Amino acid sequence: MAALKTRLPPMTGLTVFEAAARLASFTKAAAELGVTQAAVSRQIHLLEGSLGFPLFHRLHRRIELTEKGLLLSSSTTNALNAIAETISSLTRDSDEELAISATVSFSQFWLLPKVSGFSRQYPEVRMRIISQDKTPGMEGDVDIAIRYGNGMWPDGKADFLFDDEIFPVCSPEYADRLGEYVDLTDLVRHPLISYDTNDPSWTGWNEWLAAFSVQAPKRSSGMRCSFYAETIHAALNGQGIALGWRRLVQDLLDQNRLVRITSHAMATRNGYFIVVPARRERTEPVKKFAEWLKLEAALSALGGRP
């Protein structure tokens, strides 16, 4: 087989071509690479000359890949990404942290109470939990994110973890004031603790009550919170009734710190997913953590460990 050097065009030209093809712009490619637009144009011209066919259609104020350009763009991007990931894995510290991104509520109520089990099983893996109230991102060095949604995100590969159900909860002391049976029409007369969010996937009191044909009060006497975790803490402290997402509050129910006050429950539209960066190979720590998450999800669905 002939040496690669004689079969491949100059790497500089391929690198410039990959950027121009991905960004669909010589100007944007120049900005990304830190060179002039003229330098990009020249490298593309030299590459096309060495290949013997055009890679772009030069149109008015824009460029389009030719059919052969499309094929080369796909293979070049995949090859360069593979090289970058291999170099990253080779130069990575063997005692590297595993960066895990999740919402504050998922971290506080589901992940942190369980994660010591992973540490006991894999003591060599150091973890860093990145909690945020928005959709957990893939920015920086995040290795794995736990997200709630429909599983379709352009920046990551998603594996289903579990879905959920939602029902009203309160402290045992507050439940004593309600009595044994709580009618939903009576429920709205009590303080309903709510969570202010612009997330359309989140289920609030209006939607939950509407699912059971109950009109939400125009103005609830309940506390309004900026974070879901705050609504649960308010319920724990007897401030009223909150909507409990079963997967998040199950430990508190098991400990009798919260109680479920009605059999009515609403299934969530979406689910929780394990998400890894789209163009990154799964490292062994990521694989181990993902498998541990799935096992814990299965065990919690069964009501605990066998």
Domains of the chain from N-terminus onward: 4-91 (1.10.10.10), 97-163+270-301 (3.40.190.10), 165-267 (3.40.190.10)
- CB within 8 A of 202, min separation 6: which ones? 195
Cβ-contact 109, 148 below 8 angstroms: no
The pLDDT score that the predictor gives to residue 305 is 41
Give the pLDDT mean for 179-203.
85
The pLDDT score that the predictor gives to residue 188 is 87
The pLDDT score that the predictor gives to residue 108 is 94
Cβ-contact 262, 182 below 8 angstroms: yes
**Residue 81 pLDDT grade (very low, low, confident, very high; cuts 50, 70, 90):** confident
The pLDDT score that the predictor gives to residue 61 is 85
Cβ-contact 103, 202 below 8 angstroms: no
Percent residues over pLDDT 70 in the chain: 92
Q: How far apart are the first and last CA of the chain?
A: 58
Say whether pTM exceeds 0.85. Answer: no
Q: 102-161: per-residue pLDDT in tens? A: 999 999 999 999 999 999 999 989 999 998 877 777 777 789 999 999 999 888 899 999
- CB within 8 A of 89, min separation 6: which ones? 281, 283
Q: 249-304: per-residue pLDDT in tens? A: 999 999 999 999 999 999 998 999 999 988 777 889 999 999 999 999 998 777 54
The pLDDT score that the predictor gives to residue 306 is 34
pLDDT top residue among 256 and 83: 256
Residue 115 half-sphere exposure, CB side, CA atoms within 13 Å?
A: 17
Cβ-contact 77, 22 below 8 angstroms: yes
Closest CA relative to residue 76, chosen from 52, 47, 53: 47
The Cα–Cα gap between 274 and 97 comes to 18
Closest CA relative to residue 135, chosen from 270, 251, 246: 270
pLDDT at 1 over 60: no
The Cα–Cα gap between 114 and 305 comes to 12
The pLDDT score that the predictor gives to residue 216 is 83
The Cα–Cα gap between 105 and 102 comes to 8
pLDDT top residue among 79 and 136: 79
Closest CA relative to residue 191, chosen from 213, 171, 163: 171
